[in-house]
């Protein structure tokens, strides 16, 4: 059975991004390499929350629900699982902390 993930990322300034995927490690790799427009623009490289759903419909519904919440409610959800708001990817995937950073465009 395939798993689906709803996740949230942030950056140094605290911008929040919520997404959904069927392969969390690959999606984090994409974000950290700058292959996703919004995360490249805002340098969102820190995975701070994720949850697993059994089917795509449930994951997409949950993503939409979370996206409709206030910032305060999102932060409460994140801090319930990850009080320090540390990057979960290194421990989850065996990556070194700071191993990836978003690639800057040549014009920057």
Q: What is the model's pTM?
A: 0.86
pLDDT(102) > 60: no
One of 3.40.50.2300, 3.20.20.70, 3.40.50.280, 3.40.1440.10 is the CATH number of 4-93, namely 3.40.1440.10
The pLDDT tens digits of the residues spanning 56-71 come to 999 999 999 999 999 9
- Predicted confidence at residue 85, as pLDDT, reads 95
Could you please report the per-residue DSSP string of the chain? ---EEEEEEE-TT--EEEEEES-HHHHHHHHHTT-SHHHHHHT--EEEEEEEESSHHHHHHHHHHHHTS-HHHHHHHHHHH-TT----HHHHHTPPTT---PPPPTT-
pLDDT(45) > 90: no
**pLDDT grade, residue 106 (50/70/90)?**
very low
């Amino acid at each position: 059975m395939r798993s689906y993930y709803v996740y949230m990322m942030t950056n140094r300034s605290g911008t929040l991004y919520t997404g959904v995927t069927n392969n969390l490690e690959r999606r984090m790799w994409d974000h950290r390499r700058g292959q996703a427009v919004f995360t490249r623009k805002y340098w969102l490289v820190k995975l701070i929350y994720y949850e697993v759903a059994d089917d795509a419909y449930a994951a997409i519904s949950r993503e939409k629900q979370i996206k409709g919440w206030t910032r305060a409610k999102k932060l409460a959800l994140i801090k319930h699982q990850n009080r320090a708001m540390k990057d979960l990817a290194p421990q989850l995937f065996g990556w070194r902390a700071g191993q990836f950073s978003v690639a800057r465009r040549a014009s920057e």
